[in-house]
Amino acid sequence: MFGKLRRLDRDVSRLALEESERLPSAERRRFLRNGLFTAGGAMVGGALAGIAPKALAATQYPPEIPSWTRTLGPGVVADPYGVPSPFEKEVIRRNVPWLTADKVSSISFSPLQHLKGIITPNGLFFERHHAGRPEIDPQQHRLMIHGLVERPIILSMEDLQRFPSVSQINFIECPANGGMEWRGAQLNSLQFLHGMVSCAEWTGVRLSTLLQDAGIKTQGKWVLAEGADGAAMTRSIPLEKALDDVIVAYAQNGEALRREQGYPIRLVVPGWEGNTHVKWLRRLEVGDKPWMQREETSKYTDLMPDGTAHGFTWVMEAKSVITSPCPEMPLRGKGIHQIEGLAWSGRGKVKAVDVSVDGGQNWQQAQLREPVMSKSLTRFSLEWKWDGNPALLQSRVIDETGYVQPTLGQLRQARGTNSIYHKNSIQTWKVNGDGGVVNVQLS
């Protein structure tokens, strides 16, 4: 019997020692300082025999039984809507206070560095306001469809939800995502550099269904979408796109839209810049030409090197970014690491993603993780053995149309440095010898 106990002591000691190697250094010192192994495993054996050393009570790690196993927890519906663990309190949207003059016309950024898969939780979906978030009573909200139509209609929420619904997974990206860095590296953060993109499952009614119900006159070529926010955000959309894959969405990831995402209804215009996905939608007008509103002339218009405007630039071109490692996710020691990231294209599916660890001199093809869907985020990964030396990490996406994500130099050559929008060039992260990661620019 004593022989079996001694062998059990040795086995548990070995397992506990292996486990201690995975602990943060401070926790490991405390674990060892508590004397777990000072008698060649005798104390572990003592604990197993029912002798509980006071030292073991200081830790929640095996073989000790953690405190939360000894007590009852809150019951069901303790949180009727559900909230994240308090240990995830740092995983939140953030904004850059100096980026805009006021919070009512501002932007928050999704924490891409902490997200898994391709779906962005509703509470972490980036938000963009042009005049603050309106509080709309769905019982009093109406959607008007008029202009060059045979039968102008006004729909209540109940009327709208009588139409056949569809669900589709699409990303939405603000065209200003990354736009602060046209002239140079400014922000050392994945979240603040690229967090104006998110992805969700949207449920609603195809816009084509509603327009066909109203009856489009032959002169109708464009649709004006207008929001019910204080800015009355408006964008002109060609009828061809409106009849293609646009939906009037009332649900996101299985629940009603969040207020900051356009409750009770918004447009979802797959693959196009975020401002065309008009939130708090109240009016759709069919016309024969674009309206050239403020948000499509003085705003959301790219300036070319000679100062002229680029005109309508709806499609979000293919882009990718490494989400780990990144400034918020440094490397913890040499050895095997998974380089992970996200890629997307407003023109369709991601076909391939290449990764470089030497600033673009050599490339390796990354693994695309399923699902890979059109106009949706796609996750990629590549196993990498880091030798502890500085490295320059990059990714570049190729979409199904053959478009290749440009280098910063190529983009600047074509577009200059006067713009704010549609900066989709290759991002470079520099890994330092201590594992820290910083934002740098390579042309």
Q: Which pair of structure tokens corresponds to residue 165? A: 């619904």
Q: What is the pLDDT of residue 52?
A: 47
Q: What is the pLDDT of residue 111?
A: 98
Of 69, 131, 136, nearest to 105 by C-alpha is 131
Q: What is the pLDDT of residue 113?
A: 98
Q: What is the pLDDT of residue 183?
A: 86
Cβ contacts of residue 262 below 8 Å, gap of 6+?
227, 249, 277, 278, 279, 280, 281
Q: Which pair of structure tokens corresponds to residue 396? A: 């570049």
Q: What is the pLDDT of residue 40?
A: 37
For residue 400, report the phi and psi dihedrals to the nearest 5 degrees. Answer: -70, -10
Q: How far is CA 47 from the centre of its chain?
A: 47
The reported pTM is: 0.86
For residue 156, report the phi and psi dihedrals to the nearest 5 degrees. Answer: -80, 175
Distance CA 420, CA 273 (A): 13
What are the average pLDDT values for consecutive 10-residue runs of the chain, which has 443 residues? 46 50 54 43 40 58 93 96 96 91 90 98 96 96 98 98 98 95 91 98 98 98 97 96 98 98 98 98 98 86 82 94 98 97 98 98 98 98 98 98 97 88 96 98 89
Cβ contacts of residue 36 below 8 Å, gap of 6+?
13, 16, 43, 44, 55, 56
Q: Which domains does the chain have, with CATH numbers?
A: 94-310 (3.90.420.10), 319-440 (2.60.40.650)
Q: What is the pLDDT of residue 175?
A: 95
